[in-house]
Amino acid sequence: MIEITTHQKAQDVARLGFCYVCGQDFSDDRKRTSDHVPPKSIFRSEDRDWPLILPAHEKCNSDYSKVDEQAMGLIGLLHPERPRQVPARTTIVGIAERDGRPAAVLLAGLKLRPMITKIFRACHTALYRVFMPLKTKNLILTPLLELDPKTRQPIPHTLLPQHQMACKILKDNRRIGNVDRVHANNRRFRFEVVWGTCDDGWRHFAAFAIDIYNWHLLGNRAIGHPQGCIGMHFSNDPIPPNASVVPTIELPFTWSEPLNPFEE
């Protein structure tokens, strides 16, 4: 099991010698900067110690500025003590509250997939100290319904059998202490992953989940059930050394929320 759950381990990641976005080294004409993943400003002040920080080229980092800006507004909806600020280039189609907190949100124009892709690529680099190409094949289930910015109608939600499978794999393996993980920002940010072999016997998959301030609650009423951020990505390369691997025996656990990867 590989984990980044202490400040010291996070500091080691910040000293990596390549850009986690493009995989290239740093040079005089390609300056190094430090990128908070997720963005620092989405966390309350008491949750900013300690963060996950990775090295990146200034240009590579700036390419994600619009994605980061939307992330700040989205997570801001979970902080009732802050003035409500709609994520950049989005409009609120509907919002329901419970005890002063949003219990469901529908946003038109929100681009969750680039945000999620950035996070799981960063965490892969942090855990295994290797670059993940941007075009790595993946299947992502977002924690919110995605709406078309023009029609404000739901984009067809691609819920696949693999998402429920990935969710159960993660929960089963967490139960036995067999996941790789990044827990940062006072555990308000959590990334967990476990590896396995595809049915073809030669490709490998990683089942992963991301949680930020229990963001699965934002879509609960709109979707009709708790739904977290679940994903799988696939590789022809060997499983990273010392990574957590799904056991060959079936684990006999049952769960009540098939799409909430952090169900206890």
**Residues of the chain above pLDDT 90, percent:** 54
Of 231, 106, 83, the closest CA to residue 169 belongs to 231
Question: What distance lies between CA 26 and its chain's CA centroid?
Answer: 26
Beta bridge partners of 90: none
Number of helices and strands in the chain (H, E): 6, 10
Q: φ, ψ for residue 135 (rounded to 5)?
A: -90, 15
| Residue 212 pLDDT > 60 | yes
Q: Residue 103: pLDDT band by 50, 70, 90 thresholds?
A: very low
73 versus 31: which is more confidently predicted? 31
| Residue 177 pLDDT > 80 | yes
Average pLDDT (35-63) is 90
**Cβ neighbour number for residue 84 with a 10 Å cutoff:** 12
Lowest mean per-residue pLDDT among 86-100, 129-143, 172-186, 236-250? 86-100
- pTM: predicted TM-score of the whole model, two decimal places: 0.86
- Cβ atoms 169, 246 nearer than 8 A: yes
Hey, where are the domains in the chain? 3-235
* pLDDT recorded at residue 264: 84
Neighbour-count burial for 225-259, b at 16+ CB within 10 Å, e otherwise: ebbbbbbbbebeeebbeebbbbeeeeeeeebebbb
Cis amide linkage into residue 50, ω under 30° from 0: yes
Q: What is the rounded CA–CA span in Å between residue 37 and residue 56?
A: 11
| Residue 167 pLDDT > 90 | yes
| Residue 257 pLDDT > 60 | yes
Q: What is the rounded CA–CA span in Å between residue 176 and residue 178?
A: 6
**Cβ neighbour number for residue 44 with a 10 Å cutoff:** 15
Average pLDDT (235-259) is 93
Average predicted confidence (pLDDT) for the chain: 84
Long-range Cβ contacts of 97-102 (<8 Å, 24+ apart): 101/217, 102/77, 102/78, 102/217, 102/218
* pLDDT recorded at residue 101: 54
Of 200, 203, 219, the closest CA to residue 257 belongs to 219
| Residue 4 pLDDT > 90 | yes
Average pLDDT (150-163) is 73
What stretches of the chain adopt beta strand conformation (E)? 3-4, 32-36, 53-57, 91-98, 101-108, 138-141, 180-184, 189-197, 204-212, 229-235
Average pLDDT (208-232) is 80
Q: Residue 79: pLDDT band by 50, 70, 90 thresholds?
A: low
| Residue 72 pLDDT > 60 | yes
The alpha carbon dihedral of 179, 181, 187, 188 has a sign of negative
